[in-house]
A and B are shown apart, each in its own frame.
Chain A
């Protein structure tokens, strides 16, 4: 009897080609039941299967941790690289504004000789076209001058060395010149020669050209005055200078090897915080005079 019923169902279903009313009844009745059962059984099932996968999870975890650390490290390196890039860009910006020909270099060591000197070694030398007594700058301003030149490295004297001295001119004037001197552990000082002008806090200084522009080219920003020292009865005034360059953290510097164009006066200083009386051009244009030619025999002037 039962066999007959089974055969009948087979025939009927076969003839109707699958599906049919019985299937849909089964779906409607048993479907929700299966879903409920799955909701219960799935976490249990996955727990047991994960037990089996624990080893691979652990190795996956280790791999992800390592990858994360690696990416973090690369991000940190990128921050250092970004700092290098920013310093190099600043340097090229300054040199580009003035159209100086520079040889960029990196500082590879500092010298202190028991704490008395302030010098550094840079990784360019005579093979790169460096000579002694050339100006060294960085994006912020004057760094120093080259001393001894080797084939691939050069010693430079930094601006805060007690032996360092450079001619300097106050911004916005042509007559007010003097010299800045490094102080070693003491701050840099500026001595303004002559009694006509008054030194004031906030006055900004740029380099004054040496004879033949060796060792100093003109118009390199030096720093600004932070304190004026009283010099009663003297023919000069003295002030303490805060240099634009942090000599302890220089990294990318440039040695100026040629100055094909004259730089417009005061055009390389950063935008003034207070409006200064002289004209500071936003977009500096080189002056009309042709390229400067160095004097025939460079003789030492008052400010070496």
Chain B
């Protein structure tokens, strides 16, 4: 319960920071995607079903949050699958830093590819090969760079919120 409250607060913060701060920075490439990073970080400690649910809720919020202008549900699907995949790693006994970074990379990459894939299905003209390549490279690289800072913090906070889990 407390972990869910913490997750909600962190997800809302990540969405706000992404819209108001990160998207405004003129970074090389498209910049990091904080919500998916946060979802993966929580899922790493909570399991696949929790990760999928958190991803779905985060993605839906990202879909609805202004100024998004795409078909509702695309980010929900993308983040839910990313959260599920990240949660599958929860049971791994010896989790090194490399594993965590790899999971973050895979999670954000899967989110971008799924979002672009569904975009192709709904004939979104914004999804071109060039755009997908740029977005994939940027999101994965930036999220991997941010992962060593964000994931341990979230893991620590989640453990303190729910020590029994």
List the interface of chain A (C-beta within 8 A of B): 108-117, 119-121, 147-148, 150, 153, 155-157, 161-163, 184-186, 248-249
Contact = CB atoms under 8 A, between A and B. Distances in A.
A56 to B, nearest CB: 44
Interface stretch (B6-14, B48-56, B68-76, B94-102): B68-76
A148 B66 CA distance: 9
B23 A112 contact: yes
B131 A162 contact: yes
B125 A115 contact: no
Interface string B103-116: 00000000110011
A120 B24 CA distance: 10
B122 interface: no
B19 to A, nearest CB: 4
A184 B131 contact: yes
A153 B26 contact: no
A116 B127 contact: yes
Contacts of A115: 29-31, 112, 131, 134-135, 138-139
Contacts of B29: 115
B163 interface: no
Nearest to B115: A114
Interface of B: 19-20, 23-24, 26, 29-31, 33, 62, 65-70, 75, 78, 111-112, 115-116, 119, 124-128, 130-131, 134-135, 138-139
B90 to A, nearest CB: 25
B23 A147 contact: no
B115 to A, nearest CB: 5
Contacts of B24: 109-110, 248
A112 B31 contact: yes
B109 to A, nearest CB: 11
B126 A111 contact: no
Contacts of A117: 67-70, 126
Nearest to A117: B69
A150 to B, nearest CB: 7
Contact of A111 (B23, B112, B125): B23
Contacts of B23: 109-112
Chain A CB within 10 A, most for which of B19, B20, B69, B125? B69
A288 B95 CA distance: 77
Given A115-B139, A116-B135, A249-B26, A110 B67 contact: yes
B139 A109 contact: no
Given A111-B23, A116-B135, A184-B128, 15 more contacts: A109-B20, A110-B24, A110-B67, A113-B68, A113-B70, A114-B111, A115-B29, A115-B30, A115-B31, A115-B134, A117-B67, A120-B67, A161-B126, A248-B24, A249-B26
B125 A162 contact: yes
B52 to A, nearest CB: 19
A281 to B, nearest CB: 36
Nearest to A161: B126
A239 B19 CA distance: 32
B125 A121 contact: no
A271 B69 CA distance: 36
Q: Which 3 A-B pairs have the closest CB atoms?
A: A115-B30, A110-B23, A115-B135
B69 A108 contact: no
Contacts of B26: 248-249
A145 to B, nearest CB: 11
A115 B133 CA distance: 10
Contacts of A112: 23, 30-31
